[in-house]
Amino acid sequence: MWSRTRLVLCMLLAVSVILGLTGGLVLGQAFPRNETLYTGGKQWGPVSNWNPFMAGNQAMGTIGLCYETLFLYDPLTDQFIPWLAESGKWLSSTVYELKVRQGVKWSDGQPLTAADVKFTFDLGKTAALNITSLWDWLDNIVQVGDYYLEFHFKQALYQEWANNLYNIAIVPQHIWASRNATTVSTGANENPIGSGPYLFFAVDQVKMVWVRNDNWWAKTALGKSVAPKYIVDLVNTSNENSLGLVLQGQEDLNNNYLPGISTLLLGGYALHTYFPGAPYHLAANTAWLDINLQKKPMGDVNFRKALAYAINVADIVSRDYGNMVQAANATGLLPTWDKYVDQAVINSLGTSYDPVKAKQTLTAAGYKDVNGDGFVEAPDGSKIALKIIVPNGWSDWMAAIQIISSNAQAVGINVQPNYPDFNGYLDARLNGTFDLAIDNQQQISNTPWSYYHFIFYDKLADIPSTQGGNYGRYNNPTAFALVSQLDKVPTSDLAGMKAVISQIQTIQLTDLPIIPLWYNGMWAQMSTAYWTGWPSSADGDAHYLPVTWNGYWNMTSILMLCNLTAK
Ligand code: MG
């Protein structure tokens, strides 16, 4: 059996090598090093589609390098930057006027007009897309001339709309109008025609190459041009391989989690990170503990609080991550959302590491070790034996749940770490069969609404199919109603947003349906061997996001490319 397996593996390897070599020959040239940006960190397998509606597995840069959004959003300044749109404003409480930028052309030379924008949104009516749910509250779109649109809403969900403005990529009507709904939603969309600064150049099994679009509209409209002529995005093989490529200057920007950067920064390599010291990386998302509230004893808020008091997040930050991440505050809101954190609520209701308090909380709630095995039993005398899961191979998370398990055991809660494969981990969360799990699915965005919409996702029965969030099945109609209410607060009404968010935080910290742990980083290892002008926190440097993942080019990473200089 072994030899047969090995033979098949060898054959697969041979095929992939041949494909790789063939691709290399098709690519036909060595890319001039001083005109080429090598990237990695997005792609974990061969590239198979360039469909801007296929979130997750589209080629690196499909949205951002090729297709573009109406606005960019800068999370570091909380500003929207007009992009394919010149401007947008609410004419009334339910009508949003958008002025589409004049002079933008698709890469085949056709003009991009308001008709393309309307067409793109209208696609959500007939195809199952990420914009389909928008039509639950959007009534119709009226085109006024070639460059104006009016979006008429049944009910305006201001927070969500603002999120759409920088996430929905506009596609050309003259290319997409003849496609059926299935092709629109799941077609590979090879040889994509976009409006962005790069054109598809070539692809093989190990890389995808973009070439600069020298007719990009922003050169004349905004005086911006992207520096690299070629962007070669490498398919990840392993973190060790990526690290080697960065240290050798063969990869210019890598967005994998690479441990030990704090030491390597001092090692004389041409290595650069956004912050020169800890935490080295900007925060991308919150890692929190999902707690299955449908199982005993996790349904008991006192048990959850005891668990929160037991976990030593500072230890995870220092020992597991070498201070490459920061501890989350009790709400879990990202540093870019600091202004929304109600410190008074945290002061009165927040939990943090305090093992004495953890034991006191357990005792007061009736948990005690009646059988003398060192672990508490539930108030009804039943045994407690919990598993905490993360995907096998996710080494930083595996180390984290070892620390959390020993923290819990130290206060008498029997928690054991467990590492199913990735699909097993996903299934356990989606189907609610887990006890405890680490989760970080909600990324940085323009509004805490997106975070709360995820952790307080209200359609509990639909969670396995929608992957909507709230894997612990927290059920609180009051909290859900507040999240909906937040969505209806205009983004310009900061006081109104804070008032609702404060109420949500009060419920969150009273009930503790999840336990926020730390902020995962926008892992970005940049090499200064061939390119300089990288984003950094230093005064006078560009404060852009240095990230190639989906959804980040339109959060200012594209501006990073305009700021680079070849050495
Ligand atoms: Mg016991």
> How high is the mean pLDDT in each 10-residue block of the chain (567 residues)?
36 38 48 96 92 91 98 98 98 98 98 98 93 96 98 98 98 98 96 98 96 98 98 91 92 94 90 96 98 97 98 97 96 98 97 97 98 97 98 93 98 98 96 97 96 95 89 97 98 98 98 98 96 97 96 98 97
- Residue 320 DSSP label: I
Fold of the 68-185 domain: Dipeptide-binding Protein; domain 1 (3.90.76)
What is the whole-number distance in angstroms between the Cα of residue 370 and the centre of ligand 1?
A: 5
Per-residue pLDDT at 25: 37
CA dihedral 212, 215, 221, 225 (to 10 degrees): 20
What is the whole-number distance in angstroms between the Cα of residue 495 and the centre of ligand 1?
A: 49
* Sign, Cα dihedral of 234, 238, 241, 243: positive
Q: Report the predicted TM-score, pTM, of the whole model to 2 decimal places.
A: 0.93
What is the whole-number distance in angstroms between the Cα of residue 381 and the centre of ligand 1?
A: 9
Per-residue pLDDT at 10: 38
What is the whole-number distance in angstroms between the Cα of residue 382 and the centre of ligand 1?
A: 9
Contacts of 180 (CB under 8 A, 6+ apart): none
What is the whole-number distance in angstroms between the Cα of residue 408 and the centre of ligand 1?
A: 13
What is the whole-number distance in angstroms between the Cα of residue 414 and the centre of ligand 1?
A: 9
What is the whole-number distance in angstroms between the Cα of residue 378 and the centre of ligand 1?
A: 9
pLDDT in tens, 307-324: 999 999 999 999 999 999
- Nearest 5°: phi and psi at 259? -65, 155
Other Cβ atoms less than 10 A from the Cβ of 47: the count is 21
What is the whole-number distance in angstroms between the Cα of residue 512 and the centre of ligand 1?
A: 25
What is the whole-number distance in angstroms between the Cα of residue 92 and the centre of ligand 1?
A: 63
Per-residue pLDDT at 56: 75
What 3-state class would DSSP assign to 562?
A: helix
Other Cβ atoms less than 10 A from the Cβ of 252: the count is 26
What 3-state class would DSSP assign to 39?
A: strand
Question: Measured between alpha carbons, how far is 286 from 273 in angstroms, rounded to an integer?
Answer: 20
What is the whole-number distance in angstroms between the Cα of residue 307 and the centre of ligand 1?
A: 16
What is the whole-number distance in angstroms between the Cα of residue 308 and the centre of ligand 1?
A: 20
What is the whole-number distance in angstroms between the Cα of residue 527 and the centre of ligand 1?
A: 53
What is the whole-number distance in angstroms between the Cα of residue 425 and the centre of ligand 1?
A: 28
What is the whole-number distance in angstroms between the Cα of residue 359 and the centre of ligand 1?
A: 14
What is the whole-number distance in angstroms between the Cα of residue 374 and the centre of ligand 1?
A: 5
Domain parsing of the chain, residue ranges: 2-66+196-280+522-566, 68-185, 283-521
What is the whole-number distance in angstroms between the Cα of residue 373 and the centre of ligand 1?
A: 4
What is the whole-number distance in angstroms between the Cα of residue 431 and the centre of ligand 1?
A: 29
Pick the closest to residue 232 from 32, 20, 21 (CA basis): 32
Cα 209 off chain centre by? 23
What is the whole-number distance in angstroms between the Cα of residue 416 and the centre of ligand 1?
A: 15
What is the whole-number distance in angstroms between the Cα of residue 380 and the centre of ligand 1?
A: 12
What is the whole-number distance in angstroms between the Cα of residue 517 and the centre of ligand 1?
A: 27
What is the whole-number distance in angstroms between the Cα of residue 384 and the centre of ligand 1?
A: 8
HSE (side-chain half, CA atoms, 13 Å) at 389: 20
In 115-270, DSSP assigns E strands to 138-144, 148-153, 169-170, 198-203, 207-212, 230-234, 253-254
**What counts of helices (H) and strands (E) characterise the chain?**
19, 23
| Measured CA distances, 445 to 124, 162, 176 (Å) | 22, 10, 29
Per-residue pLDDT at 448: 98
Question: Measured between alpha carbons, how far is 241 from 567 in angstroms, rounded to an integer?
Answer: 24
Question: Measured between alpha carbons, how far is 538 from 556 in angstroms, rounded to an integer?
Answer: 17
How would you list the strands of the sheet with 386-389, edge to edge? 326-327, 514-521, 283-291, 436-439, 386-389, 415-418
Question: Measured between alpha carbons, how far is 445 from 344 in angstroms, rounded to an integer?
Answer: 24
Per-residue pLDDT at 27: 55
What is the whole-number distance in angstroms between the Cα of residue 367 and the centre of ligand 1?
A: 9
- Could you tell me the CATH superfamily of domain 2-66+196-280+522-566? Periplasmic binding protein-like II (3.40.190.10)
What is the whole-number distance in angstroms between the Cα of residue 411 and the centre of ligand 1?
A: 12
What is the whole-number distance in angstroms between the Cα of residue 441 and the centre of ligand 1?
A: 35
Please write down the long-range contacts of 276-280, taking CB distance under 8 Å and 24 or more positions apart: 276/536, 276/537, 276/538, 278/323, 278/324, 279/323, 279/324, 279/325, 279/326, 279/519, 279/521, 280/324, 280/521
What is the whole-number distance in angstroms between the Cα of residue 377 and the centre of ligand 1?
A: 5
Fold of the 283-521 domain: Dipeptide-binding Protein; domain 3 (3.10.105)
| Measured CA distances, 68 to 106, 184, 337, 474 (Å) | 10, 17, 25, 37
